Structure 1
Amino acid sequence: MSTDNRDVAEMNHTNGTPVNGHPRGPARSVDEESDQTDENIFLFIPNLIGYSRVVLALASLYFMPLHPRRCGFLYSISCLLDALDGLAARKFQQSTRFGAVLDMITDRCTTTCLLVFLSSAKPAYSMIFQLLISLDFASHYMHMYATLSMGGQGESHKNVSASRSKIMNLYYTNKNVLFVACALNELFFLGLYLLCFSSPRITPALLPSNGGPGNLTSPVSSSPVEPFQPAPSLLFASPFSAAAMEMARANKMSSTVPWILTIVSTPVMAFKQVVNVIQLVKASKWLAEGDRRDRKMAGLGPQAKTEKKVR
């Protein structure tokens, strides 16, 4: 690299101007790099709670295919700890960027894993579950990136001004709204998961037949509350086939509680998806504002060219 190019690169690194289209933070001196405590961030209490959430989520995945009660219990505890780590961070003054990212990644991954199961259990609706996964990831990634690139490294993704979006401001600043929206959103998908083990309306394998428990040729209506007890069938030799798994999930529990959980949480789940769409749109517009500003400063775009001609 020539001396002139090296000087330009150093200037770009120190003044924070974009390099190759990416924003760069100010350079840190040697003194600033050494100005750190010897605390182990990874062992902060909120982060330890975050690790326990990961362990509980993994355990719930292990029981997810055939053990709904164990899976539901472990999954619920993991989600409830999401509120506890925030309380611990404020109580012990241990709020960290690592903890915030760990918390968000855990939330996204656990919800995705549950939706992946629902996609495999109910392939007719797999596209809906796939779209929900895509919306969830796209919305949060776009919002996080926009916050870091436009608001600065020290800016929290939860600091959304009311002038930018009143709904997003309410969602992120009101802890009760945030907790209820996230909790009931998870509860909706958990309710659907439990219905795969209990409701004939969700799982056709739970329907009885006119010819007896082992006859699947002439299904008739059945109560959506009490599941049917199907006899073992020799039709599905492979224990790993989709049909065999559906039969294996039959008669695990009553569908009364899962139906209540699903119906009660449906409006809040819908609200959460609306928030995801708004978050995606607002973050995209915020990034576009920065792009237009950077292009104007670089002398690009029709407005900048017009100003040059006037001069």
Structure 2
Amino acid sequence: MNGVRARRQAAAEKEKTAATNGNSNGKSNGHAAVAPTADDDYPHENIFLFWPNVIGYFRIILAIASLYYMPLHPRTCSLLYSISCLLDALDGYAARYFEQSTRFGAVLDMVTDRCTTACLIVFLSTAFPRWAIVFQGLVALDLASHYMHMYATLAMGGSETSHKAVDRSRSWLLNLYYTNKTVLFVFCALNELFFIALYLLSFSSPILQPSLLKPIVPDAVGNGLHAGAQINSSILRQIFANPHSAAALEMARANKMDSFWPWVLAGISFPVMAGKQIINVIQLVKASKWLAEGDVKARRAAGLPRRR
């Protein structure tokens, strides 16, 4: 009993001494001083106002403006959309220059890219309705491959792993695509250029002639063509838009364009666009296999499948 009392007295005296020291080192108002933490050594930062992210917000504004002009004003829309895409390279440079690389910025950049491209392809589905299934497949492949790749990177590589950190042993092509800035820029830029060229071609279809807006006077027999009739060409019908599709009359009336340069841009960018789709397929397959490998390891750790 005496030993227990002695230990209690010693503990009480120790607490009293600590309290006295705290009061003597505290402020004049009697409160004990709080030891500074490691966070106090750094200035407060607002991630949402980092320069790369501000550029990302500006990209979104330009993209929305381009969508507003998309149905009726191809030149204005193409200019705004192209600037938004080109700023994709600037935000990466700003992130490295200002040392402001963030996970929020990386996700914002990817989401902006996927959404703007999807919106443009959705418009192409209305402008070229016979090819809608192809455009729908491109949108699905783009979204699925990037989502699977991002999820597999976070789940298997860890939350600190960037989606651009692709090990060469998994895919040398994806490693080259994500680590070489020139290759990444060329593929992304020409991929968007191809869809912009198709968008401009939708305003230069030979089917969408201004004369379609004028009714044709019937001849003496009473025969005549109705406004909106198509040129009798099976090849043109397969390639170009139906005059009765969305915004076709406005295209014919106010926005008729020469098709030479859109065809040139489409021809130059098509091989790269096709290569980009191949990369999307590889990315989807590799991410799926990586997740499956993780599932096998998790099942073995859980003792599955159970031995009979």
TM-score, normalized by length of structure 2?
0.76
Is the Cα–Cα contact under 8 Å of residues 88 and 94 in structure 1 kept in the other structure? yes
In structure 2, the residue matched to 1:74 is 80
Aligned to 1:294: 298
Q: CA deviation at 1:118?
A: 0.6
- Other-structure match for 2:182: 176
Which residue is equivalent to 1:264?
Answer: 268
Q: How far off its partner does 1:205 sit?
A: 2.3
Please name the residue that 1:219 is paired with. Answer: 231
| Contact 1:119/1:129 (8 A) holds in 2 | yes
Aligned-residue offset at 1:252:
2.6
Which secondary structure does the structure 2 equivalent of 1:299 belong to?
A: coil
Taking the TM superposition and a 5 Å limit, the aligned residue runs for 1:141-160 are: 141-160=147-166
User: Residue 228 of structure 2 contacts residue 244 of structure 2 at CA under 8 Å; is this kept in 1?
Assistant: no
CA distance in 1, matches of 2:105, 2:126: 32
Q: Tell me, in whole angstroms, the C-alpha distance in 1 between the residues paired with 2:244 and 2:165.
A: 45
CA distance in 2, matches of 1:220, 1:127: 24
User: Is residue 275 of structure 1 aligned with residue 287 of structure 2?
Assistant: no
Between 250-259 and 173-182, report the one with greater CA deviation.
250-259
**What residue number does 1:135 align with?**
141
Give the match for residue 250 of structure 2.
248
Structure possessing the higher radius of gyration over alpha carbons = 2
Question: Does 1:206 find its partner at 2:209?
Answer: yes
**2:110 & 2:270 partners in 1: Cα distance?**
22
Deviations 1:195-240 (A, max 9, x none): 000132xxx223968x69975557367xx9xxxxxxxxxxxxxxxx
Give the distance between the partners of 1:292 and 1:100, measured in 2 at CA: 30
Greater mean deviation of Cα atoms: 212-221 or 141-150 = 212-221
Does the Cα contact within 8 Å between 2:126 and 2:246 map onto a contact in 1? no
Q: 1:284 to 1:197 in 2, by over 3 A?
A: same
Equivalent pairs counted in the alignment come to 253
Q: Distance in 2 between matches of 1:37 and 1:290?
A: 40
1:164 alignment partner, one of 167, 170, 192: 170
The whole-number CA distance in structure 2 between the counterparts of 1:74 and 1:102 is 19
User: 1:301 deviation in Å?
Assistant: 2.0
Q: How far off is 1:32 after superposition?
A: 9.5
Instruction: Provide the C-alpha distance between the structure 2 equivalents of 1:290 and 1:277, rounded to a whole number of angstroms.
Output: 20
Q: Aligned partner of 1:206: which letter?
A: Q
Distance in 1 separating the partners of 2:102 and 2:61: 21
Query: Which blocks of at least 5 consecutive residues in structure 2 are unaligned?
Result: 1-36, 218-224, 237-242
Query: Does the C-alpha gap of structure 1 residues 218 and 300 become closer, same or farther in structure 2, counting only changes over 3 Å?
Result: closer
| Paired AA for residue 156 in structure 2 | M
CA shift, 1:56, in A, is 0.1
Q: What letter matches 1:245 in structure 2? A: A
Residues 127 and 245 of structure 2 are in contact (CA less than 8 Å); yes or no, is this contact kept in structure 1? no
Partner of 1:117: 123
Task: Call closer, same or farther: CA 1:297–1:36 in 2, change over 3 Å.
Answer: farther
Alignment of 1:41-60 (within 5 A): 41-60=47-66
CA distance in 2 between partners of 1:143 and 1:60 (Å):
28
Residues 1:149 and 1:35: Cα distance change in structure 2 (over 3 Å): farther
Query: Equivalent residue for 1:103?
Result: 109
1:229 is matched with which residue?
Answer: none
Secondary structure of the equivalent of 1:65?
coil
Q: What is the TM-score with the length of structure 1 in the denominator?
A: 0.75
Q: Distance in 2 between matches of 1:147 and 1:33?
A: 29
- SS of 1:249's partner is helix
Contact 1:207/1:219, CA 8 A, preserved across alignment: no
Distance 1:64 1:279 in 2: 31
Amino acid at match of 2:256: K
**CA–CA separation in structure 2 for the residues paired with 1:104 and 1:252:** 34
| Structure 2 CA distance for aligned equivalents of residues 56 and 256 of structure 1 | 27
Name the % identity.
63
Q: Secondary structure in 2 aligned to 1:155?
A: coil
